[in-house]
Structure 1
């Protein structure tokens, strides 16, 4: 099998990932618009609620995926096929157990549906609809584990090509169903069918790329290696708990304290913000396996340089995106879905702040997970989860939907924003962490200043939602980036980015000349 350099793999993974996410956004948006205009607000609400319920149930996965992926990096770098077989056999066992646990716990929640929904919506066959969501989740766990080996070999672009193809097929089938029948159950069946087909095809592709996956490996991992792996899985379980509570309980709290209709309104914003986040996250997803290889083969100086460059890119991209989202979300939502689906500007502001804060964490998390440091900040995840629940429940009673998102913001600021880089700098980079905090503060001040200037200029736009959108869009694309370039154009981080781009282009031209 042909091998490439880390830079080439990262460039290919990132390029394919961004294209696939943009395709998914476009198709998902068209499907969502038709969905909201074809079905009632209640269906929009239960779609978001059931998705979050199953994300909470995904805690049973225990973080085994991240821990085992990290364990694969060194055997892959060393060409140790036997060790890869042993790890994948263990991974298969974990995911079969996860499928059973999700199925059992999901069925156990059915009697408590009225507790999870304030003013239960009048939707026919609600329990059967929930069972379809549950079946999709369970079947995914049974089939998905083999793709991890493809990703660990720095070939995530292969997985993305399959996923994007079936996602486009799914959206097209769902659009046809909505326009011809308006049947929500048939809509979900298309979702279920395409998910299963996608995972089956990826699984077969993995077996073709790595035929040793089909060989029976009877030997287990040595006891000391299993001990270390289970230690990392326990740590990732805590991280998974924190992530799920912070990111996937918002809809549950809004549903329980405010109402299912508000969940539907949030779902539209979540779709748009989440789509942008998924595109930008692919920049880091594309380099994850390469960072794992970097940690297994390179020295401290190289690792530090790559991290600082990745963090710089992250704060620029997510800062620019947060500003655009704040200025464009409301006119876009009003134009696409209707005025009844609008949030107040204060809610949009906190959503965009949460987007930016979590975006600036991506570089740190990529390096932490790829280098196996998740044990050292495991209690941070539990503290963040507890803070998020307590603060959100306290604030939702007075501030309704806004209170839920303020709780999420505060819990992240008080824990993850400072603990995660502390662990990375102390345990892997071996540098004083105050250097990172100062850099983070400077970046945040710069983003804040650019945000204020952009908002003042965009505030001059008046008229219909379409007019405001058309005026603000070019302003948001040009003005923040121009201001960022004026601030960062002479920094060493910007020069490193340019140098990386030149290397990628040179490599592409060189191969083309061959």
Structure 2
């Protein structure tokens, strides 16, 4: 079966972006309410727990990615028996993973207070809160999580987006009421636990209804199981690298600088993750399609796709970078006040970090879709070690600057060059690498010019913050796009991307008309 990649990608992007936008706007309102009704320390505590549990999720070992990748070929060949056997194996692994996380998480409980330097609200029992968060994580593995792989492998993430939209609405409504009326942080955490349970159950019901012919039964041959286990083993170091990059910054800030500094950092980082989250939805929506294309299309066609996606992401991420540079400070003053403002050099560090992350995320999407995990197994671990070492050193001298800059620097100096080498050695020809790098550097130069010009125009205006934000947003939407259009309009990637966007737009319009009817 050849997946309808453009149609499914368009559908996934529509509902994925809607869900992500919803998950940005409503939590933003809740963060604001928590700052004014409960206190900034609670934000720091929530971020710390999330990072600790992300570390515990290392036990997942990349099983999900390995299993979804293993389904691409049997789905393309309509091999139902193999898919059923894969589901059974997936269920077995996730049951064991949940048990491992429960045991390790419980053993770590006595050490949790040592990760909090100061500012812990006196009314809270950190052990109870941690165990509630741990329970939510464990249940996410035990309650039918393996069925979610069917939606991912069939490129039907729009279904899970709809389900999540319903369940998180319940969570947000309850949590917002807790923050404003009850002011009980324990109930706030329990609401998230209940949401996780309901999401898993409803997703399992939907998977059974849509893919009733796939049941967890049957056995895989020994060779296939060994291949899957090899992929999982190779993905383990990738998981370590991702966790260190995404979680250690938070833990280091909490340990060395305190919950208040962590909360201020997270206010800025929240906006970064909001935008990266929307773009991640796009990456996630097209991953299965890329995987299917790698199996069914030529190497030249797939390299052309890489160039198109790189061009699109470089353009979109470039505009977003200019917006962050010009809008961060006035928006923060308006949102949380001048007392919770970081200095402008931190904003520059965040902008560099954001752009590097987006390009890196695109490359990782192709790596995961192609299953290049064995060749890439040491890169994430080495990058993580470099990042952790620079984090621990730089936080001593530069504080928050050192934490942010060390993350971007570790990706630029170690992670991305190594990843590019792996992709262009395994998936593409080495001869393609130099032309690709030249284009990438050209995109970076264009973003640099656009950012400098946009910031210069924005800095000459002295207006009240609300009006200043509006004017700067208009500038950042016009100037970078004009510069990119002038710089890129003759490129093959520009024309190819316009055709792709036009095709996906038609699919979206066709789908929306069908949805309305």
TM-score by length of structure 2 reads 0.95
Aligned in 2, Cα 1:332/1:508: closer, same or farther, shift over 3 Å?
closer
Q: For residue 121 of structure 1, report the CA deviation from its aligned partner.
A: 1.5
Asked if the contact 2:178–2:187 (Cα under 8 Å) also holds between the matched residues in 1, the reply is yes
Paired residues, number: 511
In structure 2, what is the Cα distance between the partners aligned to 1:418 and 1:21? 30
Larger deviation, residues 397-406 vs 460-469: 460-469
In structure 2, what is the Cα distance between the partners aligned to 1:165 and 1:198? 9
Who is 2:297 aligned against?
Answer: 298
In structure 2, what is the Cα distance between the partners aligned to 1:460 and 1:288? 43
Larger deviation, residues 432-441 vs 47-56: 432-441
Question: Alignment partner of 2:146: what SS?
Answer: coil
Backbone CA RMSD of aligned residues: 1.9
Asked if the contact 1:118–1:257 (Cα under 8 Å) also holds between the matched residues in 2, the reply is yes
In structure 2, what is the Cα distance between the partners aligned to 1:196 and 1:376? 37
In structure 2, what is the Cα distance between the partners aligned to 1:508 and 1:319? 25
Who is 1:146 aligned against?
Answer: 147
In structure 2, what is the Cα distance between the partners aligned to 1:131 and 1:105? 12
Who is 1:53 aligned against?
Answer: 52
Who is 1:160 aligned against?
Answer: 161
Aligned in 2, Cα 1:279/1:104: closer, same or farther, shift over 3 Å?
same
Aligned in 2, Cα 1:509/1:129: closer, same or farther, shift over 3 Å?
closer
Who is 2:504 aligned against?
Answer: 504
Q: For residue 119 of structure 1, report the CA deviation from its aligned partner.
A: 2.4
Asked if the contact 1:114–1:120 (Cα under 8 Å) also holds between the matched residues in 2, the reply is no
Who is 1:14 aligned against?
Answer: 13
Asked if the contact 2:326–2:472 (Cα under 8 Å) also holds between the matched residues in 1, the reply is yes
Q: For residue 412 of structure 1, report the CA deviation from its aligned partner.
A: 0.6
Who is 2:232 aligned against?
Answer: 233
Who is 1:469 aligned against?
Answer: 469
Alignment deviations for residues 197-235 of structure 1 (CA, whole Å, 9 cap, x no partner):
111101111111111344x5242x111111111111111
Asked if the contact 1:24–1:168 (Cα under 8 Å) also holds between the matched residues in 2, the reply is no
Q: For residue 40 of structure 1, report the CA deviation from its aligned partner.
A: 1.5
In structure 2, what is the Cα distance between the partners aligned to 1:436 and 1:384? 22
Who is 2:440 aligned against?
Answer: 440
Q: For residue 508 of structure 1, report the CA deviation from its aligned partner.
A: 6.3
Q: For residue 244 of structure 1, report the CA deviation from its aligned partner.
A: 0.4
In structure 2, what is the Cα distance between the partners aligned to 1:273 and 1:355? 7
Larger deviation, residues 162-171 vs 54-63: 162-171
In structure 2, what is the Cα distance between the partners aligned to 1:39 and 1:22? 25
Question: Alignment partner of 1:249: what SS?
Answer: helix
Asked if the contact 2:41–2:119 (Cα under 8 Å) also holds between the matched residues in 1, the reply is no
Alignment deviations for residues 3-22 of structure 1 (CA, whole Å, 9 cap, x no partner):
96211111111122112211
TM-score by length of structure 1 reads 0.96
In structure 2, what is the Cα distance between the partners aligned to 1:244 and 1:153? 27
In structure 1, what is the Cα distance between the partners aligned to 2:91 and 2:65? 14
Aligned in 2, Cα 1:479/1:131: closer, same or farther, shift over 3 Å?
same
Larger deviation, residues 203-212 vs 379-388: 203-212
Structure 1 unmatched ranges of 5 or more = none
Who is 2:486 aligned against?
Answer: 486
In structure 2, what is the Cα distance between the partners aligned to 1:66 and 1:235? 11
Who is 1:94 aligned against?
Answer: 93
In structure 1, what is the Cα distance between the partners aligned to 2:474 and 2:78? 50
Asked if the contact 1:280–1:317 (Cα under 8 Å) also holds between the matched residues in 2, the reply is no
Asked whether 1:186 is paired with 2:187, we answer yes
The runs of at least 4 consecutive aligned structure 1 residues that moved more than 3 Å come to 504-514
